[in-house]
Structure 1
Amino acid sequence: MTTEMLTQTDAQAANLTKVLNKQVANWTVLYTKLHNYHWFVKGSDFFTLHAKFEELYTEGAGYLDELAERILTLGGSPVATLKEALAVASIQEANGGESAAQMVESVFADFGTLISELNDGIAIAEENHDDATADMLLGIRQSLEKHNWMFRAYLGK
């Protein structure tokens, strides 16, 4: 393997780690946001949304760990502090005081952002011939697409 090929491979691996770290950062922020919504949701849909937000942050915790461990497997370092996560994430924290409908709209939008970024990550993983990472990201995307289908129905969209 030539030095040029090694450099390209290193650059590709760094790009893939960057994509995965954005997901780690997003899930770190989203994990806290979903807890906020779980604790503070009010109204006639309290029982439904309280349980749904718990389901989602539990699912997200699994993704967070899986993504971070994949980065470590690839020889990278996952984002591991709240400060780093907030600096890297495209997902924003909860504002506080959101209505139940605003909470659902926010999670729906966040999942849309994640789906788009997962599509980019899948393409990069495939370019790197990293089927394991592409498959992992595809599985996460599939779950988020299903959640967003349900949120669309909930929101009457």
Structure 2
Amino acid sequence: MTEHTYPQTKQVLNQAVADIYKAISIIRQAHWYMRGQGFLYLHKQMDKLIDGLDGHLDELSERLIMLGGAPYSTLKEYDQVSQLVEVEGSFEVPMAERLNRLVDLYEYLATLYRQGLAVTDEENEAVANGLFADALADAEKVSWMLKAELSR
């Protein structure tokens, strides 16, 4: 690695760490509190979504460390830094509302990943750029699939 410190790249990587961790929590809540039509297949799908985000979380965190950064690693840090808002779980939330919330979540993540692409391109950090590109592709696909489920 070069002597370049990649300050903006490290910042956006750490923002992604906080937001992805919180996104996993939001999806896990959907998984646990899900009720209604579609439960049998959507309940299993939530595990796949969590696993996908967890993979990106690990890759982005490790890249941050390789660049000399320190990823957030506490619930307090995630809550202070993340732009995502958690709400109390409820069995009364209709399935469509729950899925619409996940669409919003993935659209937010896609916007964050696009920021990551811009910053890493500006700072010529190709590896993190590739990680953000992969995460963006996944976020756009999940958002598209959720919208299709909702007939949007």
TM above 0.5:
yes
Task: Please report the TM-score for the alignment, with normalisation by the length of structure 2.
Answer: 0.92
Q: How far apart are the structure 1 equivalents of 2:13 and 2:86? A: 19
Runs of 4+ residues over 2 Å off in structure 1: none
Asked if 1:89 corresponds to 2:104, the answer is no
Give aligned-pair identity as a percent: 28
Contact 2:17 2:61 in 1 (8 A): yes
Contact 2:13 2:64 in 1 (8 A): yes
117, 125, 134: which is aligned to 1:130? Answer: 125
Q: Which amino acid aligns with 2:43?
A: H
Offset of residue 94 of structure 1: 3.8
Which residue of structure 1 lines up, in the alignment, with residue 108 of structure 2? 113
Q: How far apart are the structure 2 equivalents of 1:31 and 1:148? A: 15
Q: How far apart are the structure 1 equivalents of 2:58 and 2:107? A: 21
- Give unmatched runs, 5+ long, in structure 2: none
Task: Please report the TM-score for the alignment, with normalisation by the length of structure 1.
Answer: 0.89
Contact 1:31 1:57 in 2 (8 A): yes
Which residue of structure 2 lines up, in the alignment, with residue 23 of structure 1? 16
- Give unmatched runs, 5+ long, in structure 1: 1-5
Which residue of structure 1 lines up, in the alignment, with residue 151 of structure 2? 156
After TM superposition, the structure 1 = structure 2 runs for residues 6-17 of structure 1, keeping only pairs within 5 Å, are: 9-10=4-5, 13-17=6-10
Offset of residue 131 of structure 1: 0.9
More helix by share: 1
Q: Which amino acid aligns with 1:24?
A: V
**Of the two structures, which has the highest relative contact order with CA contacts closer than 8 Å and spacing of 6 or more?**
2
Q: Which amino acid aligns with 1:75?
A: G
55, 62, 73: which is aligned to 1:62? Answer: 55
From the CA coordinates, give the structure whose radius of gyration is larger. Answer: 1
Which residue of structure 2 lines up, in the alignment, with residue 143 of structure 1? 138
Offset of residue 45 of structure 1: 1.0
